[in-house]
A and B are shown apart, each in its own frame.
Chain A
Amino acid sequence: MPGVDVTVEVCGMAGDGTIAAGGMINDAMSHGGFSVLGFDSYPAEIRGFGRCVTRSRVGDREIRALDEETHVLISLNDEESKSRVPVLTRDCVVLFDSNPPVLVEEDRSLVAILDPETRLFPMPFGDLAAAAAGTQRGRNLVALGGFAAVCGADPELFREAIRSKFKAKSQSVLQANLKSFDAGYAYALEKFHDRLLTMFASADLPKGPEKVMLSGNMAIGKAALDAGLKLYFGYPITPATPIMEYLARELPKRGGAVVQMEDEISSIGAVLGASYAGKRAMTATSGPGFALMTELITHGVMAEIPAVILNAQRGGPSTGLPTKTEQSDLHAAVFGGPGDSYRIVIAPTNVTECYYYTVKSFQLAEKYQTPVIVLTDFYLDNRVENVPMPEAREEDVRDGNIYPNVSAGEPYKRYLRTESGISPRSIPGQAGLQFTATGLEHTERGKPDYSARNHMEMSAKRFRKIQGALADLPEPEEYAPDGPLSVGVIGWGSTFGSALEAVLAARERGLRVGALKITSLYPYHEAAIRKFTSRCEEVLIPELNYSGQLISLIGRLCRKEAIPLNLATGEPFPPSLIRKKIEELAEAGAQ
């Protein structure tokens, strides 16, 4: 029987309770055992205007991405909902207010521009809310009731979600909200009794561990706590601010501190100072802040000081599009800053990986004595997925430092040229092991030195040290059958989920295609990448940037020129676009 795969949107204006409604859909469906991926769009400005849209994809199998198709639209504000019409399927279910307070002209009407196949379910949201609870404020809950009835979702799941969302409020508020929901549910059940759908009836919901709805940002925050973060220094910037705010609440409870610094430069400066002094510290920022940090990041590279920097990418360049997603800081993360300043760059592809890679980044930073940049993007940071609550493994959390084993009397060489390139480092407070860390090129003892041979050898040392991290970094993962492939898709960051979904859809149509996930962007596993690309007739690299940054980094590892698929729309990468390109390439190749 066909599975469940429904994308539901709630669209309204600021103040309509749109975001709350979307959140309750996520919670209810998650408790119902479905996989859920949700992503909201907020108004960019602070004032009360602006469109809010929540999108939730609900399914009985693993959901990896949002696509460009919406199957159900709950319109809390028709004017704003008009903007969503291009992504609605032809036979989309649309719940809308049948009794809005003002007359709407045809050219401003939502219903007027919908296709005739659209399944309309007009309900008097405001009137039902007022009748049930004495106020129109519960309109969004009335609409949820209608949604549950029309689409065949278990209303008890929603009541549970309402109870848990409003449990901190007074009983009267909770009861009013439940009444509003029930009013909508009853009305729709009766009025549309001959048109009710069963979109969520599915016998095959996989059983598994208890799941929670977690956003990328929250996963990162929890990961930092679980990894023993002591100090967070940061500066507010969209979309990284929630990490700082979460840690500001939680870190002091564990004996740590969050300091909001005066800018991003001082933030990374303090992180380096704290790491130098032996404590785990991190900062999180976005493109413009990351640019400010670049000088000090390369200082960390030269002076070999650990640091964990999270760059939550957003639309650029410059101030760019603060509330839109993009993957255009790869070059800045890998190459940014003066000189050959190689550092570790990791990019998680989903919420669970946000957790595990953030945990691991502290240990990697310590062991390889380098800034580690974790690259996420607005979409990944703000989207919610229901996942089993992640827990850190002890082996990923333990101290990664390699301490010196120097007998007294022997002068300590902080920057000893070893085979691995890792020079055991002392921490201030350790007697007899004093040294000065410096951003100038230096001898093994750490004394400034500009001679030719020294610079050559120290550059080589730093380079091989970072290359050595390949052993500890996540390897690329193939999602492909054995043998030759007509198209191989390489994805990174949040785009990988879309790429994988496209590949699986193409495979269902009989194409021999596969996907490769790369999470270690620098250093990258050349051999493993080549192994995949060597069996692909064509290599396709979709990215959310205009210029093709991953392709310029690893394109040379393909037998022939890799094919870019670049989007600079500020929106998550739709799997359907990748699938169409795969089919196009496969077809061209077949001829």
Chain B
Amino acid sequence: MSREHWVVIGNGPAGNAAAVTLRKFVTDARITLIGEENVPEYRCNLLPDFIAGALREEDLFCTPIQRFREMDIKLRLGQKVTDVAFERGELKLAHNEVVRFTGMIIACGSTPSIPERLGMFRDLMLPLKTLGDAKRWIEKLARVDSVFVAGGDLTSLCFTRALLALRKRVMFMLCPDSFWPIPLSSEVRRSCSARLEERGVEVLDCAKIENLTRLSEDSVEVKTDAGSLVVGAVGAFFGLVPNVRFLARTGLDLERGILVDEYLRTCVENVYAAGDCAQVYHPGIRAYWVSIGCPNATEQGRIAAMNLMGGSLSLDVPQENIFEVDGIKVNTSWWMEL
């Protein structure tokens, strides 16, 4: 009789918490953790500090790989799930490998979103989500002196701090919908802008980007509704979207992310979702909400694992508060770590 096989898709805080928790409950089942990036789990919230030179690359990583061997969790890095056939209990990896599973926790996280109308300028904008992105920024910042930060989500604020530490000139554009589903009230925007200006950031009084033109490898002309300017690089910080396109035709209920109940169950038995990719239904507010930040993800990963093993823990919704940085508060624990 073959062993049960529990698969976790996603090597971020949710996925890692899920895998480790699963192993606490089962000793003889196989557990596989699949991650798309070629590196083990790292703290993406520390990427701005890495870019600023305050941290070395090795300081970003969370758990030595040897730990996974000790826990008998099979870590598959640099491998991408491209399709899942839930009814057969099979998933397909990009290199045409088929893996059978008994149950699954999807924690594939989110990716930086680019507004649709700016899609054609995708190549001229650099986001910051992964270690790869961070390394590209380090390379770029070695050559340029000015950066246009577009969007203004949580990451952008930390990134701006790094840019200031590197003595770069920062032009900042706050978009109102960078924090979906939390709308930025005009009051918050104002105080945010004030704080940034105090630090030496040029907050632009514009609403949207109209055009981007590459003048040379390290020079871009940005045309907004308020005028044009030339900068060394443009950063895309329009928020994150759940990374669930590969699940589009698998039968899972999807909206912006994977729809799950308060126990993190998807519409398929033995399949759970956790972290940035999950849209959790809260019976109290009768709506779906998306969490952001590592501790939330970690908590969800843990709960999904326990529930997959037969538990029935439900998730508390974090409060809908505003963040704080340099005087501005938001109740997402990501910022609490600062």
A window 81-118: CB within 8 A of B: 96-100, 102-106, 109, 111-112, 115-117
- Cβ A117 vs Cβ B95 within 8 A: no
A577 proximal to B (CB < 8 A):
no
B window 73-127: CB within 8 A of A: 75-79, 92-100
Query: Contacts A116-B40, A116-B65 known; A111 to B76 CB distance under 8 Å?
Result: yes
B143 proximal to A (CB < 8 A):
no
Residue in B closest to A123 when the chains form the complex, CB atoms: B95
Q: How far is the CA of A96 from the CA of B79 in the complex (A)?
A: 13
- Cβ A194 vs Cβ B132 within 8 A: yes
- Cβ A106 vs Cβ B98 within 8 A: yes
Query: Contacts A106-B100, A116-B68, A117-B65 known; A100 to B95 CB distance under 8 Å?
Result: yes
A211 proximal to B (CB < 8 A):
no
Interface residues contributed by chain A, number (CB under 8 Å): 21
Q: How far is the CA of A96 from the CA of B94 in the complex (A)?
A: 12
Q: Which of A104, A106, A117, A122 contacts B94 (CB 8 A)?
A: A122
Q: Which residues of A contact B136 (CB under 8 A)?
A: 194
Q: Which residues of B contact A119 (CB under 8 A)?
A: 38, 78
Q: Which residues of B contact A104 (CB under 8 A)?
A: 96-98
Q: Which residues of A contact B78 (CB under 8 A)?
A: 119-120
- Cβ B79 vs Cβ A103 within 8 A: no
Q: Shortest distance in angstroms between A98's beta carbon and chain B's nearest beta carbon?
A: 5
Q: Shortest distance in angstroms between A390's beta carbon and chain B's nearest beta carbon?
A: 46
B140 proximal to A (CB < 8 A):
no
Query: Contacts A116-B65, A117-B65, A120-B38 known; A194 to B97 CB distance under 8 Å?
Result: no
Interface residues contributed by chain B, number (CB under 8 Å): 21
B window 11-41: CB within 8 A of A: 38, 40
Q: Which residues of A contact B99 (CB under 8 A)?
A: 106, 112
Residue in A closest to B68 when the chains form the complex, CB atoms: A116
Q: Shortest distance in angstroms between A490's beta carbon and chain B's nearest beta carbon?
A: 39
Q: Which of A109, A115, A116 contacts B97 (CB 8 A)?
A: A109
Q: Which residues of A contact B77 (CB under 8 A)?
A: 116, 120
Q: How far is the CA of A146 from the CA of B99 in the complex (A)?
A: 27
Q: Shortest distance in angstroms between A77's beta carbon and chain B's nearest beta carbon?
A: 14
Q: How far is the CA of A103 from the CA of B97 in the complex (A)?
A: 6
- Cβ B92 vs Cβ A103 within 8 A: yes
Q: Shortest distance in angstroms between A123's beta carbon and chain B's nearest beta carbon?
A: 10
- Cβ A116 vs Cβ B75 within 8 A: yes
- Cβ A98 vs Cβ B95 within 8 A: yes
- Cβ B94 vs Cβ A98 within 8 A: yes
Q: Which of B92, B94, B98 has the most CB of A within 10 A?
A: B98
Residue in B closest to A114 when the chains form the complex, CB atoms: B76
Q: Which residues of A contact B94 (CB under 8 A)?
A: 98, 122
Q: How far is the CA of A195 from the CA of B68 in the complex (A)?
A: 24
Q: How far is the CA of A122 from the CA of B97 in the complex (A)?
A: 12
Q: Shortest distance in angstroms between A150's beta carbon and chain B's nearest beta carbon?
A: 12
Contact mask B130-167 → A, CB, 8 Å, 1/0?
00100110000000000000000000000000000000
Q: Which residues of B contact A103 (CB under 8 A)?
A: 92, 96-98
Q: Which residues of B contact A117 (CB under 8 A)?
A: 65
Q: Shortest distance in angstroms between B90's beta carbon and chain A's nearest beta carbon?
A: 9
- Cβ A99 vs Cβ B95 within 8 A: yes
Q: Which residues of B contact A122 (CB under 8 A)?
A: 94-95
- Cβ B79 vs Cβ A120 within 8 A: yes
Q: How far is the CA of A102 from the CA of B92 in the complex (A)?
A: 12
Q: Shortest distance in angstroms between A72's beta carbon and chain B's nearest beta carbon?
A: 16
Q: How far is the CA of A119 from the CA of B92 in the complex (A)?
A: 20
Q: How far is the CA of A99 from the CA of B65 in the complex (A)?
A: 28
Q: Which residues of B contact A96 (CB under 8 A)?
A: 95
- Cβ A111 vs Cβ B97 within 8 A: yes
Contact mask A513-540 → B, CB, 8 Å, 1/0?
0000000000000000000000000000
Q: Which residues of A contact B97 (CB under 8 A)?
A: 103-106, 109, 111-112
Assuming A122-B95, A194-B132, what are 8 further A-B pairs, CB within 8 angstroms? A98-B95, A102-B96, A103-B98, A105-B97, A111-B95, A116-B65, A116-B76, A120-B38
Where the two chains meet, the residues of B that have a C-beta atom closer than 8 Å to any C-beta of A are 38, 40, 65, 68, 75-79, 92-100, 132, 135-136
Provide a sorted-by-A list of 29 A–B residue pairs whose CB atoms are within 8 angstroms: A97-B95, A98-B94, A99-B95, A103-B96, A103-B97, A104-B97, A105-B97, A105-B98, A106-B97, A106-B98, A106-B99, A106-B100, A109-B97, A111-B76, A111-B95, A111-B97, A112-B76, A112-B97, A112-B99, A116-B40, A116-B68, A116-B76, A117-B65, A119-B38, A119-B78, A122-B94, A194-B132, A194-B135, A194-B136
Q: Kindly list the 10 A-B residue pairs having the minimum CB-CB distance in the complex, ordered from nearest.
A: A116-B75, A106-B99, A120-B78, A109-B97, A98-B95, A116-B77, A104-B97, A103-B98, A103-B96, A100-B96
